[in-house]
A and B are shown apart, each in its own frame.
Chain A
Amino acid sequence: MSAFTKHRPPRSASRKRRAAAAEPAGPGGQVRDGGRARRRNHRRPAKPVAGTRIPRGMRGPVAVSLLPGLLLFGTFFLVPVFVLVATAFARWGGLDFAWVGLDNYRQMFDDPVFFKAMVNTLFYAAASVFIQVPLGVGVGMVLALRPRGWKALRTIIFIPFVISGAAYALIFSMFYNPRAGLLNNALGALGLPGDRDWLFDTATARWAVAGTFVFVIGFVVVLVMAEIASIPTEMYEAASVDGASTWQQLTRITLPLLRNVIGTAILIRLLVDIGMFDLVYILTAGGPDDATATLALYAYRAYLNGEWGYANAVGSVIIVIGLVLIVTVRRTFRIGERAL
């Protein structure tokens, strides 16, 4: 058995016996399989549920019961999005309002700070896609082998994910502190220069900000481990019988089957990163010289200055970027399609 057949270790004999004893015997005295066969038989109804007509007498109550949800969806999603998109074409500071056509977009594309914020946002997104997600996938695959202490490791790795962004930023602002921070002290102890101001030096600021989140891999690790746990053990057993090496099983079975979950992890990270705000706001407020500013922070600055229409124009650009990323990642990773 190769290492990868350990993804789903067989139950111990005693557990199997206990499970069998707990199940009543089926027809012909066969032991039931935990109800799985029954669920398989009933998994797919003869006709799809979607498109089923609602009985005439239930249409009124169904409509009424949907109404609160629709009202909330309209109030808290559709209306704000409509206002955002519409007012992106206006000069609006709350009181004054005037339609200005594409002026906000012209101003935006003339502003070098907007492009700095755009590049920084894409930099953070790239750091997630090319460092955080691969790292999370790799660690997830290793932990799925269930090495000694894997549960404790999984918990430790997941902890940073549940810490609030603001608290995390404060922890890292102390970590990077040039006077008394842990990083400089550690470098100094190693005989390296330990006086760099990581967050407020234009040469290092963007990397320092990215360094605060690229190692927060708990979410990706858990996603990957859950996906690996759902891969039938028989596939590895068959591959092993056919002479596939561990590496071949990894690259030809596990990784292809992780396509959906990797795509999902990338999509989620990208959507988080294009709206990145709190981490940057607390760590550097976008400085120095906009070296760490993101599009969301750029929009917030406009909002603080009473340029609500301009801020909403930036917001609409963020939405468009988000839509493009969703479509691109979904197509690239064929998210939602069966892996095999």
Chain B
Amino acid sequence: MVKARRTTVATVSAAAILAAVAGCSSGPGTSDSDTSGSGEVVVTCATCQESPTDPFLQYNYEAAQRFNEEFAGDYRIETIENPNAGSGDDRLQYYQRLALADDLPDLFQLNSGEIKAMQETGKLHDFTSSLDADGDWAASFHDQAFDALTGSEGQIWAIPQQRDAIGIYYNSALLEAAGYDQFPETWDDFEDLAAELKQQGKIALALDGDWATKLMWANLIGTQPGGAEFLGEKIVELDDWGDDPTVVQATERLRDWHTEGYVNSDAFSGDFQSAAAPYLTEEAATVPNGPWFVNTNLKTTGAAEGLYENTGYAPAPGWTDDGQGSVIVSGAGWVSGTTDERELEAVDAFVKFMTSEDEVLAQAQETGANPPVQVDATATAAADLEPLATGLIEQAVDLKYSYPHARVHGPAGLDTSWKNLWPAYVKGDMDTDEFLQRLTEDSASSAQ
């Protein structure tokens, strides 16, 4: 009896150990069935899951199902449920850990900043050969579509999912009430409008202390001669951004809008909802953001009735007449962590499928994001895309200035440093020299 009990205890213990060890052996990139019995190549996708809240993820999911149908028997996308699929502070760390474990998914998405960090791991697939092998496909992309996704030695780490002009949404009813029948074309006019709106008890500009605030910072920098050069190159090279007069002027003007009371007083949380909420409730007259704002905010039940119809979308005003500009971004791109030849074939098939005319138009309809590839005008018209988004991308072609968001080429620590220092600077705890010096140093340093 005692012996039998000992045997049972030993067996249960051994089973528990084996279960624990076995439980530790699987990971996101593990694909035991990379090729199914029928010869179908299976690739894992970490940004193709269903999402009721993220229109980009939901579109990816639906597109992956269409891909599976079209390529049934040859390739199949296997969806990984990934809590870090959407953009967020933890996403980069998540993929860095997987890279360390040599366990990256076959397909996933990263933005330009994350790509910059991930290329250090040496685990990302370079798409250069795929683009070289298919000249028509490579030529279909817009100019500069790969700029933010390219490595220092010309590697192409990602296939862009979108190419958008980012402008400023405005409430035309509030502008009319302030005596403006169109959005101002110069920053001076914008300030006059802001002063008038303040008189009427309205917020001129809704910001958040992070994304939207830096969008306006980029607009104020980029619409000056030499501004685009700073946002594209000097932001990496300079030891002190205060050495660039365009940055100093832009920074002080943006700060002054806060101190003058033109910006919402809760503009420092770093949460875009701080900017969206006053615009959606018609307390604020303007808010900067990309075309996805329409589907994620403007057309939701959180928006005031009739707000969508009253909303216009304009490029950034300029420092001088005819000096308007716009941020142009390629957003997140498709990257791959596989090295297996057959899986890479499937990855190539997938990214070509995702950049096909039908899919980029479907994506534009669902997310509001504009295609990274050139699309036939008739097909675009037939697709009935969001007019606010398409209107700005058409207008952007004729603007004097186009430039990237500060995030695209800025150091990886820019967001954290900005959120930390910007409120203190605006509230007068430091002057412009100290702010820009510290922002430069902290963005590039280790623990900031």
In the complex, A41 has a CB within 8 A of chain B: no
B423 interface residue (CB < 8 Å to A):
yes
**Binary contact track B258-271/A, C-beta < 8 Å → 1, others 0:** 00000011101110
Interface of B is mostly: helix
> At the interface, yes or no: B93 with Cβ under 8 Å from chain A?
yes
Interface flag for A197 (CB, 8 Å): yes
Interface bits A276-304 vs B (CB < 8 Å: 1, else 0): 00000000011111110100001001111
B138 at the interface (CB under 8 A from A): no
Flag if A173 contacts B269 (CB, 8 Å).
yes
Contacts of A285 in B (CB 8 A): 270, 416, 419-420
Segment from A67-75, A124-132, A139-147, A228-236 that makes contact with B: A67-75
Q: From B418, which residue of chain A is reached at the shortest CB distance?
A: A287
Residues of chain B within 8 A of A314, CB atoms compared: 447
Cross-chain contact A306 with B20 (CB below 8 angstroms): no
With A95-B100, A202-B429 known to touch, is A65 a contact of B423 (CB < 8 Å)? no
Interface pair A197/B268, CB less than 8 Å apart: yes
The reply on B10 being an interface residue by CB < 8 A is yes
Of A57, A95, A305, the contact of B412 (CB 8 Å cutoff): A305
Contact B429 A288 (CB under 8 A): yes
**Which residue of chain B is the closest to A197 with respect to CB atoms?**
B265
> Contacts of B445 on A, CB cut-off 8 Å?
305
Which residues of B1-19 are within 8 A (CB) of A?
Answer: 2, 5-6, 9-10, 13-14, 16-17
By a CB distance below 8 angstroms, the chain A residues around B422 are 288
Residues on A with beta carbons closer than 8 Å to the beta carbon of B266 = 177-181, 197
Tier of interface size on chain A: 35 or more
State whether A111 and B13 are in contact (beta carbons under 8 Å apart), knowing that A200-B423, A200-B427 are contacts in the complex.
no
Contacting residues, chain A, for B446 (C-beta < 8 A): 107, 302, 305, 307, 310
Could you tell me the distance in whole angstroms from the C-beta of B448 to the nearest C-beta in chain A?
6
How many Å lie between the Cα of A289 and that of B16 in the bound state? 50
CB neighbours of B121 from chain A (8 A): 94-95
- Among B13, B93, B270, B413, the residue within 8 A (CB) of A64 is B13
* With contact pairs A94-B97, A179-B278, A289-B421 given, residues A304 and B416 touching in the complex (Cβ less than 8 Å): yes
B89 at interface, CB cutoff 8 A: yes
**Most B Cβ at <10 Å: residue of A93, A285, A290, A314:** A285
Cα A8 to Cα B321 with chains together (Å): 83
Let me know if A72 and B117 touch, CB within 8 A.
Answer: no
Give bound CA distance, A301 to B270, whole Å.
Answer: 16
A288 touches B427 (CB 8 A): yes
Taking the nearest CB of chain B, how far is it from the CB of A302, in angstroms?
Answer: 4
Q: Which residues of B contact A180 (CB under 8 A)?
A: 266
Q: Complex Cα distance A266/B326, Å?
A: 55
Q: B394 at the A/B interface (Cβ < 8 Å)? A: no
- Residue of A whose beta carbon sits closest to that of B283: A179
Interface string of B405-434 (1 = CB under 8 A from A): 000000011001001111110010110000
CB neighbors of B among A81-128 (8 A): 93-95, 107, 111, 113-114
Compute how far the CA of A317 lies from the CA of B422 in the bound complex, rounded to whole angstroms: 29
B6 close to A288 (CB less than 8 A): no
- In the complex, the answer to whether A61 meets B6 with C-beta atoms within 8 Å is yes
Nearest-CB distance from B30 to chain A (Å)?
Answer: 19
* Interface membership of chain A positions 156-183, coded 1 if the CB is closer than 8 angstroms to chain B and 0 otherwise: 0000000000000000010001111100
Set of chain A residues within 8 Å of B6, measured between Cβ atoms = 60-61
A302–B447 touching, CB < 8 Å:
yes
Is B63 at the interface (CB under 8 A from chain A)? no
Q: Is B330 an interface residue (CB 8 A)?
A: no
Whether the Cβ atoms of A287 and B93 lie closer than 8 Å is no
- Cβ of A68 and Cβ of B100 under 8 Å apart? no
Given A64-B10, A179-B265, A287:B424 Cβ within 8 A: yes
How far is B14's CA from A95's CA once the two chains are assembled, in angstroms? Answer: 34
Determine the chain A residues whose CB is within 8 A of the CB of B120 once the complex forms: 93, 95, 306
Report Cα–Cα, A301/B89, bound state, in Å.
10
B307 interface residue, CB < 8 Å from A?
no
CA distance A289 to B442 in the complex (A): 11
A287 touches B419 (CB 8 A): yes
Report if A23 contacts B (CB, 8 A): no
Which residues of chain A from 197 to 220 have any CB-CB distance to chain B below 8 Å in the complex? 197, 199-202
On chain B, the residues within 8 Å of A287 by CB distance are 268, 419-421, 423-424
A65 B447 Cβ-Cβ under 8 A: no
Pick the residue among B92, B264, B419, B447 that contacts A179 (CB under 8 A). Answer: B264
CB nearest neighbor in A for B7: A61
Nearest-neighbour CB distance to chain A for B264, whole angstroms, equals 6
Q: Is the CB of B13 within 8 A of A68?
A: yes
**Bound CA span A181–B99, Å:** 43
A64 to B16, CA, bound (A): 11
Q: Which of A68, A114, A201, A289 contacts B17 (CB 8 A)?
A: A68
A61 touches B430 (CB 8 A): no
Q: Which of A233-270 contact B (CB under 8 A)?
A: none
Contacts of A67 in B (CB 8 A): 13, 17
Please tell me if the beta carbons of B93 and A303 are within 8 angstroms of each other in the complex.
yes
Complex: chain B residue closest to A180, CB-CB: B266
CB neighbours of A93 from chain B (8 A): 120
Residues of B within 8 A of A60 (CB): 6, 10
Of chain A, the residue at the smallest CB distance from B3 is: A57
The answer to whether B265 and A288 touch across the interface, beta carbons within 8 angstroms, is no
A65 to B416, CA, bound (A): 48
Q: Indicate whether B96 reaches chain A with its CB closer than 8 angstroms.
A: yes
Q: Are B447 and A61 in contact (CB under 8 A)?
A: no
CB-defined contacts of A197 to chain B, threshold 8 Å: 265-266, 268, 423, 427
- Within the assembled complex, what's the spacing in Å between the Cα atoms of A195 and B264? 11
CA gap between A107 and B96 in the complex, in Å: 24
Most buried by A among B122, B265, B447: B447
Asked if A301 contacts B265 (CB within 8 A), the reply is no
Which chain B residue has the least Cβ–Cβ distance from A173?
Answer: B269
A107 CA to B420 CA in the complex, in Å? 20
Tell me, in angstroms, the Cα distance from A113 to B428 when the chains sit together: 19
CA A304 – CA B411 in complex, angstroms? 13
Q: In the docked arrangement, what's the CA distance between A111 and B423, Å? A: 21
B424–A304 contact, CB under 8 A? no
Knowing A64-B13, A94-B96, A289-B424 are in contact, say whether A200-B268 is a contact too (CB < 8 A).
yes
Report A's interface with B, CB cutoff 8 A: 57, 60-61, 64-65, 67-68, 71-72, 93-95, 107, 111, 113-114, 173, 177-181, 195, 197, 199-202, 285-291, 293, 298, 301-307, 310-311, 314
Q: List 11 A-B contacts (CB under 8 A).
A: A64-B9, A65-B9, A95-B100, A114-B447, A179-B265, A180-B266, A201-B423, A291-B424, A304-B89, A305-B446, A305-B447
Instruction: Given contacts A197-B268, A200-B209, A288-B421, list 9 more A-B pairs with CB under 8 A.
Output: A60-B10, A71-B17, A93-B120, A95-B121, A179-B265, A179-B278, A200-B269, A301-B416, A307-B447
Q: Which 9 A-B pairs have the closest CB atoms?
A: A289-B424, A288-B423, A287-B420, A200-B423, A200-B268, A288-B424, A302-B447, A307-B446, A178-B265
